Amino acid sequence: MTKSKILLVEDQAVIRNLLAFLLTQEGLSVDTAENGLVAYEMLKNGGSEYRLVILDIDLPSMSGWELCEALHARPTTEHIPLVINSTERVLGRVELQKKYGILFFADKSNPMELVTEVLYLLGIGNGDILEKVS
């Protein structure tokens, strides 16, 4: 069985390393990017290898929303499911979910909630939820 590969976009090294560790412990393959621009470069050149992208909203170089917009504009990356991991309060979640394909909004202060939701979305132990909805 191949590991599900995800991209984690987080500018705070402590949070990025913690989440990468927790997700890796669950059997996922995790690549990381410290800002939106680095993530965009990684995704535009090889986005099809990622099952999911987890991103913060408040990122340097290119914000999370700018990254969502850029990914949505490219036919090769518009299909990649997104999970927002942020402490910011997000208004208009339903519209944003529809526009960018955001599957879940996680609270950055609760890393286990994020890990649990990612495992659920990837169907770890429950069948592949993303395959069922795509």
Closest CA to 38 of 3, 11, 78, 77: 11
Q: Where are the domains of the chain?
A: 5-133
Cα(100)–Cα(65) distance, rounded to whole angstroms?
Answer: 9
Percent of residues in the chain assigned helix, strand, coil, to nearest 5:
45, 20, 35
Alpha helices in the chain (DSSP H): 13-25, 36-46, 64-73, 93-100, 111-122, 129-133
pTM of the model: 0.87
Q: Residues 37-75: pLDDT tens digits?
A: 999 999 988 778 899 999 999 999 999 999 999 999 998
User: Higher model confidence: residue 36 or residue 76?
Assistant: 36
Protein fold of 5-133 = Rossmann fold (3.40.50)
120 Cβ contact partners less than 8 Å away, ≥ 6 residues apart: 126, 129
User: Higher model confidence: residue 114 or residue 87?
Assistant: 114
